[in-house]
């Protein structure tokens, strides 16, 4: 029988910081399926225990990555640490210091503990926001950095620590730069993919989806199962050590197209409503090259935007059914 790369997790201790959040909880579920013992460290700032299954192999610790002693204690014996904990772009824009403390300070704590404990692999979840408005499309990992928000500064700071701990101390790190992850489990308040659930929410209520700006801004939307697989490939792959990978689809989608697909899925006769752009929407176009991760980690996205949105729509419908 052919082995699956995630068989490597069987019987191993994996720590997922921010594991009660959107992407983190989906990672936890995949790890449990693969037979790992999983510890979640989360302060429930945006995450929720309701996102996590009840499972004998899952331990949930309520606390902050800002607390070094707790981070070190949690990481003892871990073979892999998947570092997802972060204050998001909205929190960061309102309060850059809070962002700094978690996103930079918390990442430094994870790496200091990994260095001390000789953790075999830390995977850090960064963001395509570090590219800002890029000069070239699709954006590859060597594109120049263009920081347009305090959040992108802190996510890049975490990347820099990962790279420098690898170069200086030999700590085994890998970085994944996610682009707009969406899918089942997403919270409408989650700013990265909130647009997807907000459009669904509006359309299901028979309201027009509200678009900030002219709707011609673009994003590269990544289905959450694909982001999970890419992250876990970066954990198990020897080649990923010390590297940075884009995690996206390579397809550029306008917000107008997104609204049309969602209106179509719900079978409604609606037109979007256009309102002022927000201060966090200062990136006009985004589409990422995924050649590096495809070649080196043999990861490729399996969900088109149409299929991913259909799955998300089915999940939203199942929630509404359970409520009634
Ligand atoms: N979702 C996306 O599209 C996207 C895009 C780019 C990067 N990212 C990165 O991916 C990671 C996960 O994002 P998400 O969408 O799941 O967000 P999320 O807000 O759902 O998850 C973040 C989790 O971290 C926890 N957390 C926050 N501060 C913490 C602290 N100090 N200590 C411990 N836990 C803390 C939150 O409670 C939450 O459970 C983040 O690092 C984010 O920067 C996400």
Residue with tokens 């910081």: 17
The architecture of the domain spanning 8-182+222-249+289-301 is 3-Layer(aba) Sandwich (3.40)
**3-state SS of the chain: helix, strand, coil percent to 5?**
45, 15, 40
Is any ligand 1 atom within 6 A of the Cβ of residue 157? no
How would you classify the pairing of strands 173-178 and 58-62?
unpaired
Tokens of 147: 């920081």
pLDDT tens digits, 6-40: 999 999 999 999 999 999 999 999 999 999 999 99
pLDDT tens digits, 144-166: 999 999 999 999 999 999 999 99
pLDDT tens digits, 91-113: 899 999 999 999 999 999 999 99
Burial status of residue 241 (CB atoms within 10 A of its CB: 0-12, 13-18, 19 or more): middle
How would you classify the pairing of strands 244-247 and 173-178?
parallel
How many other β-carbons are positioned within 10 Å of the β-carbon of residue 251?
Answer: 17
pTM of the model: 0.96
What count of residues does the chain have? 324
What is the pLDDT at residue 283? 84
> Which stretches within the chain are classed as H helix?
22-33, 68-75, 89-94, 96-99, 107-117, 150-169, 194-204, 224-236, 255-266, 291-297, 305-323
Q: From ligand 1's centre to the CA of 293, what distance in Å?
A: 22
Tokens of 316: 């939203």
What is the pLDDT at residue 293? 98
List C-alpha distances in Å: 134 to 191, 250, 251, 286, 293.
21, 15, 16, 8, 19
List of the chain residues with pLDDT < 50 = none
Q: From ligand 1's centre to the CA of 284, what distance in Å?
A: 23
Q: Residue 212 pairs with which residues in a beta bridge?
A: 275
The answer to whether residue 166 is catalytic is: no
Q: Which of 80, 124, 131, 151 is catalytic?
A: 151
Is any ligand 1 atom within 6 A of the Cβ of residue 194? no
Is any ligand 1 atom within 6 A of the Cβ of residue 106? yes
> Minimal CA–CA distance to 151: which of 201, 66, 193, 94?
94
**Which one-letter DSSP state was computed for residue 45?**
S
Are 111 and 161 in contact, with CB atoms under 8 Å apart?
yes
Under CATH, which number does the domain 194-218+252-286+307-323 receive? 3.90.25.10
Q: From ligand 1's centre to the CA of 86, what distance in Å?
A: 4
SS3 of residue 98 by DSSP: helix
**Angle ∠(186,192,198) on CA atoms, nearest 5:** 60
Are 59 and 38 in contact, with CB atoms under 8 Å apart?
yes
Domain locations along the chain: 8-182+222-249+289-301, 194-218+252-286+307-323
Is any ligand 1 atom within 6 A of the Cβ of residue 60? no
Q: From ligand 1's centre to the CA of 83, what distance in Å?
A: 9
- What is the Cα 262 distance to its own chain's centre? 22
- What is the Cα 21 distance to its own chain's centre? 9
b (16+ CB within 10 A) / e for 126-149:
bbbbbbbebeebbbebebeeebeb
- The CA distance from 121 to 137, in Å, is 31
């Amino acid at each position: 029988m052919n082995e699956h790369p995630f068989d490597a997790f069987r019987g191993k201790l994996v720590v997922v910081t921010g594991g009660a959040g959107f992407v983190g909880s989906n990672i936890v579920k995949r790890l449990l399926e693969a037979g790992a013992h999983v510890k979640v460290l989360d302060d429930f700032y945006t995450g929720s225990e309701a996102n996590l299954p009840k499972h004998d192999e899952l331990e949930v610790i309520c606390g902050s990555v800002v607390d070094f002693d707790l981070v070190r204690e949690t990481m003892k014996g871990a073979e892999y640490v998947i570092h997802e904990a972060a204050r998001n772009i909205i929190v960061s824009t309102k309060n850059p210091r809070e962002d700094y403390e978690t996103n930079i300070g918390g990442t430094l704590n994870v790496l200091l503990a990994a260095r001390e404990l000789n953790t075999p692999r830390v995977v850090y979840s960064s963001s395509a926001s570090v590219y800002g408005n890029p000069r070239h499309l699709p954006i590859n990992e060597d594109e120049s950095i263009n920081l347009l928000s305090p959040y992108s500064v802190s996510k890049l700071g975490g990347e820099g620590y990962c790279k420098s701990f690898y170069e200086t101390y030999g700590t085994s790190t890998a970085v994944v730069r996610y682009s707009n992850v969406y899918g089942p489990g997403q919270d409408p308040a989650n700013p990265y993919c909130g647009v997807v659930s907000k459009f669904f929410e509006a359309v299901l209520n028979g309201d027009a989806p509200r678009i900030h700006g002219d709707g011609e801004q673009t994003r590269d939307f990544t289905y959450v199962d694909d982001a999970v697989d890419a992250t876990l490939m970066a954990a198990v792959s020897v080649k990923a050590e010390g590297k940075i990978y884009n995690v996206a689809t390579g397809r550029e989608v306008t917000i107008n197209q997104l609204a049309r697909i969602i209106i179509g899925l719900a079978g409604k006769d609606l037109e979007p409503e256009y309102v002022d752009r927000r201060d966090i929407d200062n990136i006009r176009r985004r589409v990422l090259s995924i050649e590096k991760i495809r070649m080196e980690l043999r990861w490729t996205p399996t969900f088109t935007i149409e299929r991913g949105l259909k799955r998300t729509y089915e999940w939203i419908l199942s929630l509404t059914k359970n409520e009634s």
